[in-house]
Amino acid sequence: MSTPTRPAGLWRLIATREVTTRIRDKAFIGGTLFSVVLIIGVFVVTALVSGGPRSYDVAVVEAPSGVLEGTAAYLSVGEDEPAEVNAVEVDDTAAAEAAVRDGEADVALLTTADGFELVSEDGADEVLEAALRAAIAETVTATNAQAQDVDLEALVAGSEVTARELDPRAAEAGARSAVAFGFAIVFLLTAMGFGMAISQSVVREKESRVVEILAAAVPIRALLWGKIVGNTVLALGQVVILVAVSLIGLAVTGESGLLAGLSGAMAWYVVLFVLGFVSLAALWSVAGSLASKQEDLQSTTLPGQMLLFVPYFVSVLAGEGVRVVFSMLPIVSTMVMPGRIAEGDVPLWQIAVAIASTVVAAFVFVRLGERMFERTVLRTGGKLGYREALAIRE
């Protein structure tokens, strides 16, 4: 069919219809809300598990001066918020033990003839114990030094140890890996979800035969572009919401350091996301146009699913070398590259290769998709194979 003219804005009308009907769809709204709730849930659980600022209760008969304050100071080193060590005043040793048993106190610190005794139910929290020992040593040493009339500063001179971090980001490595995984899974799920939506939208129009009226009224290419643009906008919109919720989550849970380090990766993610999604959108449209009924989609969308799942599993399970290569391949790059950027420095040329290859793939896929879509979307009565569709000449 010849399509000499392409009245401006036709694809936009199709895209608008695609978007407006979808955002009124209860299943779509529900799915988006579910994702948002899921992300919020992850943050809530993480916050609960990590427990926020540390707080300990120590049962004491008579608080040794300065020890608990010193312990809190040790516990607060390297934390965003100061730790708390509260004294639970008790009358005697028995009361102290009872407090520990009842859970009123984490430990009891009792004075003995030789020094102190740390009483716990079944082994004290290691961090707390270390901090207590350090604080006791410091306080007692200071007291003793004064009693012996020793210049404590002179005594400890030269013993100070300072810390220097070669890779301060290493501490966040776990969080960064999680973010990298998040990038991959969000693209996988979004590309799958919206991909299926595109295929379904095409096959629905075939099933209801409205495509015949559309084809009589507008160039088939405008139909394809309307679907690609409409669904890309929807997918991107959903991802932006999810990313925004995640960013807010990071900020609220005090991970602002992580947040700052990830902004670059997030930006590249959005770029690669759009490119990767557009390349696939053409393929998903073809999957719809090859089918005649919804049931046909299971087989016609298989190549699209494979294009997402295989690289996904390879990238998750494979070693570093494979990931580097995969991060530069089209479509897969969206799942792998932003994650690599989040985890560490990636040479700029590799990012450039990833973008370039995806642009080329998008171009090829859309052109190929246009040809196959034009030839197959008006065919009914049985599904077609990809090879068959490519062989059709009209």
What does the binding site for another protein look like in residue numbers (CB under 8 A)?
A: 1-5, 7, 10, 13, 17, 21, 205, 208-218, 378, 394
The residue ranges of DSSP E strands in 112-221, in sequence order, are 116-119
- Residue 162, classed as helix, strand or coil, is coil
Give min distance, CB of 76 to another protein, in A. Answer: 59
Q: For the chain, how many helices (H) and strands (E)?
A: 16, 4
Shorter beta-carbon distance to another protein: residue 5 or 162: 5
Shorter beta-carbon distance to another protein: residue 249 or 288: 288
Give min distance, CB of 225 to another protein, in A. Answer: 14
Per the CB < 8 A criterion, the answer to whether 270 and 278 are in contact is: no
Shorter beta-carbon distance to another protein: residue 206 or 383: 206
Give the C-alpha separation, 333 to 178, whole Å: 17
CA distances from 362 to 108, 176, 282, 348, 372 (A): 67, 29, 8, 21, 15
Q: What are phi and psi of 255, to 5 degrees?
A: -95, 40
Give min distance, CB of 214 to another protein, in A. Answer: 7
Shorter beta-carbon distance to another protein: residue 4 or 168: 4
* Rg from Cα positions in the chain: 31
Shorter beta-carbon distance to another protein: residue 17 or 169: 17
Give min distance, CB of 25 to another protein, in A. Answer: 9
Give min distance, CB of 15 to another protein, in A. Answer: 12
Give the C-alpha separation, 342 to 246, whole Å: 14
Shorter beta-carbon distance to another protein: residue 226 or 304: 226
Give min distance, CB of 371 to another protein, in A. Answer: 14
Shorter beta-carbon distance to another protein: residue 30 or 344: 30
Give min distance, CB of 228 to another protein, in A. Answer: 17
Give the C-alpha separation, 101 to 376, whole Å: 75
Per the CB < 8 A criterion, the answer to whether 288 and 198 are in contact is: yes
Q: Which residue has the tokens 């006791």?
A: 136
CA distances from 214 to 194, 289, 388 (A): 22, 14, 24
Task: At 9, list the tokens.
Answer: 């804005």
Give min distance, CB of 210 to another protein, in A. Answer: 4
Which residues is 119 bridged to in the sheet? 108
Shorter beta-carbon distance to another protein: residue 213 or 251: 213
Q: Which long-range contacts (CB under 8 A, 24 or more apart) does 94-100 make?
A: 95/59, 95/61, 96/59, 96/60, 96/61, 99/59, 100/59
Shorter beta-carbon distance to another protein: residue 211 or 337: 211
Per the CB < 8 A criterion, the answer to whether 53 and 78 are in contact is: no
Shorter beta-carbon distance to another protein: residue 177 or 208: 208
Give min distance, CB of 230 to another protein, in A. Answer: 13
Give min distance, CB of 294 to another protein, in A. Answer: 13
Give the C-alpha separation, 75 to 9, whole Å: 63
Sequence-distant (≥ 6) Cβ neighbours of residue 104 within 8 angstroms: 57, 59, 88
Sequence-distant (≥ 6) Cβ neighbours of residue 92 within 8 angstroms: 61
